[in-house]
Chains A and B, each alone.
Chain A
Amino acid sequence: MESIYSQGNISSSLIDNAVPWVNWSEWNYLRRSIFSSSPKLISSALHKISCWVSRDCQLNLVELTAIIIEIHQKDPFFRGDTPFGDAVIPEKMLNMLYCMFIMRLVNDFVEPEHKTTGRSISDIAEALGIPRTFVDIRHESSHRSLPSLKLVRPASAKALEWLKANYWEPQRIASCDPRKVIKSRLRQMILCLKARQVSLLSSVKNKTKHPRRASLLMPCRKLSQLASKSDGSKAHISKLIRIAVHLYSVHPSDFVSVLLEFFLAQASVNSDHIDLEGSDDSECSLLKPISGSLIGLKMVITKLSLKTPRLLLSMLKAVIEMIEEKDSRNFENGGNDFLYSLNQAEVNQVCHLRWLVLYLIRNLKALKESGQIELFQENQICTTHKMATAKVCLTGLLHKCLSLFDPGDKYMLKSALLLAEMNENKLLTEKLKKLPMLAFLDQNQIHCDDIKYNENMLLKEEDAVEKAAERLDLIKFRLGKHKNSEPSNSVSGAATNLWRPTKSWGLCPIGMLLCSFSSAAFSPIFYVMEDEKEADKSEPSGENVEDVHSADTREMVCDDVEFLGDENAAKKLKQMPETEGSAELGRPFLMEGRLLIGGLWKKVSQEELISLESDVRIFV
């Protein structure tokens, strides 16, 4: 069987090693930072490496790179400026540092081999491709007098190049981006499934005599040609599915985000032609949106979720988070320019995502009926023997859907209704059925009366502003309270229950977290800490709002955008947050004193809060 990763000529082993990074994009981000020209990025990269080293995963090459770059940062020769204040290191010391570094570099790689085989150091170094200069410097500095700075300084630059050529570059190539692999595999799969669909359709076509459908089938010719190329046979498809399932199990978050990317791209292309609602009647939907690959994507999701029901849950989580993020961002934008600023494309996207939620929940229902997904109640302790089955907490999910419910949005409501049905809660179903009456009444009014609509909007906005003011108050309150209570807390807090057993849990890889409403695991994002770093460096508290903004554009744009142009890095910086209401904001410590600004949790000082608050008052 061909390797899953067989992209280009890199064939990779599937032997896993423990690493301190969560994914290769973290590694890549570090690689770019440490070799960048910005002292800020370099020092953050050095910090990151010291964290990696604390996890002890045998990172000789990374550690050595960090050491040499740290020395270079201290050497005016490499810094290219006159060092200021405490940064001055006497040349003698620099000399020692360089020699020590080169000794370590050589010994780290040569010593093990030397011990076991007893061959001479220079022989082994040659076999390893370590330049002779380094070996000589090692020899001189350990057995004779210290080589001069004039000699070791250029050697250290050479060593850095050598490390780049022998570790960073090969590793970059070897760690091929899983997203690329996933993308190409998914494309293949979509194509294949569509091809199969076409052959199915042509048989349907023979039976039906509907004239409209014939025209719809026109593009199918092309597809069937493609199909013959890409071999839409059943065996081929099942092989593709197997590979995709494996890819999902290894890179769950990448897989889901690629799927979502595909979906959004397809949906936006096809949004004019496709009535997304077509899926209401599944038989009909088979025939409708052939023009795009949305149908293929839908089939991919269905097929894969049959194999790994967990995929559905991961997707649900990702979609809901994305909607939450976009909503919050829209809300922010709306704050600046109330009526007209809502970007239409963005609105459409959110609409598509909402439709996707409904679609996923439909699938979920089907899987639940076939017993592949189980239900669980909040705070229910799972029995150990059923850990592996995917589970979903209906009330939790329902809660999410309702919190995302927006008057006039039929998809979320339908999702909620479906969930209520699954829950067999008749009372809830009845209540939910009544809910849209209000919303649709509103909608009717919108069409007939623009002024009323505006009034309505204004009312809503006022409401939102009030809510925001409340939240601000809450944050302020917590901020003050925490400051006051801190000393007493540490004394009395010891007696109270620090530790509690977690109530509900399921199978979840170590290092990951479980989604709040299902047994889908996800990699945690420590973006708050990312932010903390920024706060640590900049001047404490006294800065005003503008400073916060500028600080963050600095952080966001970074020094070399082209460098970071790669979508992964951009994603990493963007860091999807999630609004979960004031209850979340109320937590002490990490989230304390933070506001969601432009989709990012920003640290906000007391003064900023007050100034923000006064702004709010003006609106109200």
Chain B
Amino acid sequence: MELESNCIAPASAPPCQTPHVPPQWADALHEIAGGSPSPPIVVICGPKNSGKSTFSRLLLNILLQRYDRVGYLDTDVGQPEFFVPGCLSLHLIDECLPDVMSTSIREPERCFFFGDISSKRDPEAYMDCMFRLHDYFIKEYHQLNDHDNNKKSSIPLIINTAGWVKGTGLDVLIELLRYVSPTHVVQIRISVETKNLPTGAFWLNDKKRELSKLIEVDAVFTDSYNQSVLMGKNASRLRESRLLDYFKQCFSSSLNIKTNKELAYALASLPPYQVHFSEVKVMHLHCQVPKHEVIYSLNATIVGLAFNSFGPTTIECRPWCAGLGIVRGIDVKKDLLYVLTPISLSKLEKVDILLQGFIQIPTVLLQVRGCRSPYMAANVLHKLPYKKLKISPPKRS
């Protein structure tokens, strides 16, 4: 069964490019989209590079034929769908994705800055972010009271997960599934059986009544497989280009910034926002930095710009994040921080917390010609002086 015909949305929308969708996937998609009368909550899981994202995008497009809006909760902090690395974000999508193979940056409805590209440094905080985004969605868009019903209708939710499915990664996934209790769980399985998730409803420990519909599909091994292998190799470059795309939003598209070098140059000369250092709180998410070193650790790094709307914030209980910023300079004498960010001034107004994690600033931004950042140096020894090893073919045991 071909899916293209289904995807031809209203004439005004751009034509959707859909790759060849295998029948197994098409069946699964239709089962979710057309199965239940109430809007589904779908969790998509599976190992790395198995096609979770592709599946979720296809599902998104299909659901958009029936619903005006679809919620998308992205929990993959390494390779996020619509936002920047290091963030968990909730999006409300109201238009069909023109290209299912790649996505562009979208402003999230709500997001948290986790501050790392994997949940392994702090699974507790990571799960807390997931649960709170989910709760927010349920409260605002899914579980509607009677008097609200007139204004808006309940909308479906897609939850995309990270590809870490072993050890702690599996534990985190199980916690998520138990907490969310979705209507559908889509598990994508690859041919290497040992790398897959356990079969069946692995998240239920006893023989409880199973509420979720479990759908298991095989990964697609066509061109999208090749692409996903490629993606795996260039994960860090993809992250970097994501960040660059994000900061490109500082400029209107009329400026026509094409290359990364042009972007770096434009960012170096863009008038930043300024804020009094004493008016913002700085939090280090994944390491401890002595108080007197905070300024040193902030200068020329990427930070999450967060605001506090509920009581005291701790590292375990993250504040909402408005977006990312680059601390481009600190003037100690004037007590000023200079921050580059694409978020609007009205949103920025609320920001009073800077979160520093391990999201590294793309080095291309520090290497503007004739205008090199002091945080770049030549002659750096990163590795040991390898005596040339004769690389013999790996011995297979």
- Bound pair (A, B): yes
A502:B274 contact, CB within 8 angstroms = yes
User: Across the two chains, which residue of chain A brings its CB closest to B347?
Assistant: A499
Interface centre among A57, A128, A508 (most CB of B within 10 A): A508
Is B289 within 8 A of A51, CB to CB? yes
Q: Which of A18, A507, A590 contacts B366 (CB 8 A)?
A: A18
Nearest residue (CB) in B for A494 is B352
Q: Does B295 contact A (CB under 8 A)?
A: yes
- A425–B193 alpha-carbon span in the complex (Å): 82
Given the contacts A128-B386, A502-B271, A528-B332, A512 and B290 also touching, CB distance less than 8 Å: no
Q: Which residues of A contact B335 (CB under 8 A)?
A: 587-591
Q: Which of A56, A113, A250, A501 contacts B358 (CB 8 A)?
A: A56
Task: Please judge, given known A-B contacts A47-B290, A128-B386, whether A18 and B333 are in contact too, CB under 8 Å.
Answer: no
Indicate whether A170 reaches chain B with its CB closer than 8 angstroms: yes
CB-CB contacts below 8 Å: A209-256 with B: 249-250
Q: Check: A15 CB closer than 8 A to any chain B CB.
A: yes
Which B residues between 322 and 367 are near A, CB-CB below 8 angstroms?
326, 328-335, 338-339, 345, 348-352, 356, 358, 360-361, 363, 365-367
- Pick from B16-24, B140-148, B261-269 the stretch touching chain A: B261-269
Is B386 a contact partner of A48 (Cβ separation < 8 A)?
no
Binds A, one of B50-58, B60-68, B96-104, B387-395: B387-395
Stretch at the interface among A327-335, A438-446, A518-526: A518-526
Q: CA of A125 to CA of B190 in the docked complex: distance in angstroms?
A: 36
Candidates A56, A119, A384, A503; contact of B389 at CB < 8 Å: A119
Q: Are A50 and B288 in contact (CB under 8 A)?
A: yes
**Would you give the 0/1 interface string for B260-285, flagging 1 where the beta carbon is closer than 8 Å to chain A?**
00000111111111111111100010
* Beta-carbon contact of B375 and A22 below 8 Å: yes
Whole-angstrom CA separation of A250 from B373 in the bound complex: 9
Report chain B residues within 8 Å CB of A497. 349
**Is A511 in contact with B328, judged by CB distance below 8 angstroms?**
yes
Digit string of A478-505 for contact with B (CB within 8 Å is 1, else 0)? 0000000000000001100111111111
Size range of the interface on B? 35 or more
- Is there an interface contact between A16 and B376, defined as CB atoms closer than 8 Å? yes
In contact, B373 and A54 (Cβ under 8 angstroms): no
* Contact present for B293 and A529 (CB under 8 Å): yes
In the complex, whether B10 has a CB less than 8 A from a CB of chain A is: no
Check A128/B371 contact, CB under 8 A, given A387-B269, A511-B300: no
In the assembled complex, which residues on chain B have CB atoms less than 8 Å from the CB atom of A176?
A: 379
Partner of A499, one of B275, B301, B378: B275
A529–B293 alpha-carbon span in the complex (Å) = 7
Contacts A15-B378, A17-B377 given; does A118 touch B301 at CB 8 Å:
no
Contact of A18 among B334, B358, B375, B383 (CB under 8 A): B375
A81 at the interface (CB under 8 A from B): no
Q: Is B292 positioned at the interface, with any CB of A under 8 Å from its CB?
A: yes
Tell me if B227 is interfacial: C-beta within 8 Å of chain A. Answer: no
How many angstroms from the CA of A578 to the CA of B379 in the assembled complex? 33
Are A22's CB and B374's CB within 8 A? yes
Tell whether, in the assembled complex, residue A508 and residue B371 are in contact, meaning their CB atoms are under 8 Å apart. yes
* A533 surroundings in chain B (CB, below 8 A): 290, 292
Q: Does A12 contact B (CB under 8 A)?
A: yes
Given the contacts A50-B289, A503-B271, A24 and B297 also touching, CB distance less than 8 Å: no
Who on chain A is nearest to B329 by CB?
A513
Taking the complex as formed, is A381 at the interface, i.e. its CB lies under 8 A from any CB of chain B?
yes
**A498 & B380 in contact (Cβ 8 Å cutoff):** no
- In the complex, what residues of A have CB within 8 A of residue B392's CB? 117, 119
Q: Is B233 an interface residue (CB 8 A)?
A: no
Does B11 make an interface contact (CB < 8 A)? no
Residue from A18, A529, A530 within 8 A of B376 (CB atoms): A18
Beyond A506-B269, A512-B374, whether A499 also contacts B351 by CB under 8 A is yes
Could you tell me the distance between the alpha carbons of A453 and B349 in the complex, rounded to whole angstroms? 57
Question: Which residues of chain B are within 8 angstroms of A408 by Cβ–Cβ distance?
Answer: none
Q: Is the CB of B365 within 8 A of A510?
A: yes
| Complex alpha-carbon distance, A12 and B379, angstroms | 6
A23 at the interface (CB under 8 A from B): yes
A167 at the interface (CB under 8 A from B): yes
Q: Tell yes or no: B287 within 8 A of A by CB.
A: yes
B385 at the binding interface (Cβ < 8 Å):
yes
Q: Which residues 149-206 of A sit at the B interface, judged by CB distance below 8 A?
A: 166-167, 170-171, 174-176
A19 within 8 A of B: yes
User: A532 in the interface, Cβ–Cβ < 8 Å?
Assistant: yes
How far does the alpha carbon of A527 sit from the alpha carbon of B333 in the complex, in Å?
Answer: 10
- Residue A55 is within 8 A (CB to CB) of chain B in the complex: yes
Given A505-B269, A507-B371: A589 in contact with B295 (beta carbons within 8 A): no
Contact present for A590 and B277 (CB under 8 Å): yes
CB-CB nearest in chain A for B388: A127
Find the residue from B265, B271, B350 having the highest chain A CB count within 10 A.
B271
Bound: A128/B300 CA distance, A: 34
A590 & B278 in contact (Cβ 8 Å cutoff): yes
Which residues of B are found within 8 Å of A508, using beta-carbon distances? Answer: 268-269, 328-329, 371
Which B residue's beta carbon lies closest to that of A53? B287
A16 in contact with B287 (CB, 8 Å) = no
Which A residues are in CB contact (< 8 Å) with B379?
A: 12-13, 171, 174-176
Residues of B within 8 A of A60 (CB): 382
Contact B331 A524 (CB under 8 A): yes
A313–chain B nearest beta-carbon distance, Å = 14
The reply to whether the CB of B255 lies closer than 8 angstroms to some CB of chain A is yes
Q: Which of B290, B334, B351, B361 contacts A50 (CB 8 A)?
A: B290
Q: How close is B397's CB to chain A, nearest CB, in angstroms?
A: 8
- CB pair B273–A167 under 8 Å, yes or no, is no
Which B residues, 115 to 174, have Cβ-Cβ distances below 8 Å to chain A? none
B312 in contact (CB, < 8 A): no
Closest Cβ of chain B to A112, distance in Å, is 9
Whether B268 and A23, one on each chain, are in contact in the complex, defined by CB atoms closer than 8 angstroms, is no
Q: Is the CB of A24 within 8 A of B389?
A: no
| Interface presence of A20 (CB below 8 A) | yes
Once the chains are docked, how many angstroms separate the CA of A15 from the CA of B350?
A: 41
For B350, what are the chain A residues with a Cβ–Cβ distance below 8 Å? 494
CB closest chain-B residue, reference A23: B374
Shortest Cβ distance from B331 into A: residue: A513
CB<8 Å pairs between A and B, sample of 13: A17-B363, A18-B375, A61-B381, A119-B389, A170-B385, A498-B351, A502-B274, A508-B329, A510-B375, A512-B329, A513-B330, A580-B333, A589-B278
Q: Top 7 nearest A-B pairs by Cβ distance?
A: A118-B394, A511-B300, A589-B278, A51-B293, A505-B271, A387-B269, A533-B292
